[in-house]
Amino acid sequence: MARWASRKVTPAVDWRRAADPDDLKEYDAFGPWIDQVRSELAMPRIFQPWYPEFTDAEFLLKIPRDIDRSAARPGMDLYAAVLAVHKQGVCLLRNEDGHVTRQDAAWTQVVACGTYTNLLLARWSLLLSDGSAIHVRHNSVGTPTMAKVTQFVRARTVNGSEPLSQPALPPVPVPQDYFGSKLANLEWTFPAPVVPIHVEPRNRLCRDRRNRRRLSTGVMVVDTPRELVLVSCGEPVRPLFMPNYATNVVIVPYGGLTSFDVVPPADGRPHTFSSLVLRSGRQELVQPCLDHPWAAVTALAARGVPQGSPVEDAVGLR
């Protein structure tokens, strides 16, 4: 007579019922979006000791970890960072393997604000006068939230002051593509006049640093009453048959610039890039350009920004 071996069946665990109610509430609200923290209970547990310091912040945002929803469970550290934006400046708290690190910056240190996206990947950045930067990496579904933070940052970094003079620069044609849509957005969010002063269409034949044939990704430089805006697609070139979905917008207040320069290609070969270099203290922003950005030079000179690389500016540039 045959015998059937008995198997011990492990009962399924109802992890939702076993979870702490507060952990379950945080888990149910978790997703790729960036959430505003409105109470101590809503603050991720690892960051709760800092909540009293930032209860009055204009923005107190928790940045989710880049993990699949299926891999998340109640009680896990679901948030990678908390960003506090307040009247005095910004503070970024990061969860580094269970240890919280802190990075602070006062408004007087902020010299530029940047937003980079590439499909679902995004990065919001503040560039500081000492050459360092604060980077918040997040899912691109949080970009509308970070756009509101950018508006708040801009109001603090320009201090409501108008430039001494604004040159009468003629606008240049803008292609009805990515650059056209970005220009429309700038016209809606910046005070007039918003003038595109240097535009390089995408997909021009060019050469990269290793002299390989490539296509350019384009650039647009926009002059506004108090800020210069650099609009690009991230890397200046792409392989001939590889698409590029990156976008990058860097907002630079004129009042914080200490010098600028236009650096020609090192080898002088045709179809290679020169560089528009903007300096703010020890911070250096480099924008590759296929054509000489004459109008940008005019706009910078009209704001009293000196051209050249003084020795005191060149030390420690990154």
- Quick: pLDDT tens for 94-127: 999 889 999 999 999 999 999 999 999 999 999 9
Helix (H) or strand (E) holding 23: helix 21-29
- For residue 61, CA distances in Å to 45, 90, 201, 299 come to 14, 11, 37, 36
Span 228-249, average pLDDT: 94
For the chain, give the percent of residues with pLDDT over 70. Answer: 90
Pairing assessment for the beta strands 246-253 and 274-280 based on DSSP bridges: unpaired
Say yes or no to pLDDT of 316 above 50.
no
Amino acid at 195: V
Say yes or no to pLDDT of 312 above 70.
no
Q: Which residues contact 1 (CB under 8 A, 6 or more apart)?
A: none
139-172 confidence digits (pLDDT tens): 999 999 999 999 999 999 987 566 656 788 888 9
Model pTM? 0.89
256-290 confidence digits (pLDDT tens): 999 999 999 877 677 789 999 999 999 999 999 99
173-219 confidence digits (pLDDT tens): 999 899 999 999 999 999 989 999 999 999 999 998 888 999 999 99
Say yes or no to pLDDT of 313 above 90.
no
Q: CA 195, CA 233: separation in Å to the nearest integer?
A: 19
Backbone angles phi, psi at 278, to 5 degrees: -115, 130
Span 21-27, average pLDDT: 78
Do 216 and 202 meet the contact criterion of CB atoms below 8 Å apart? yes
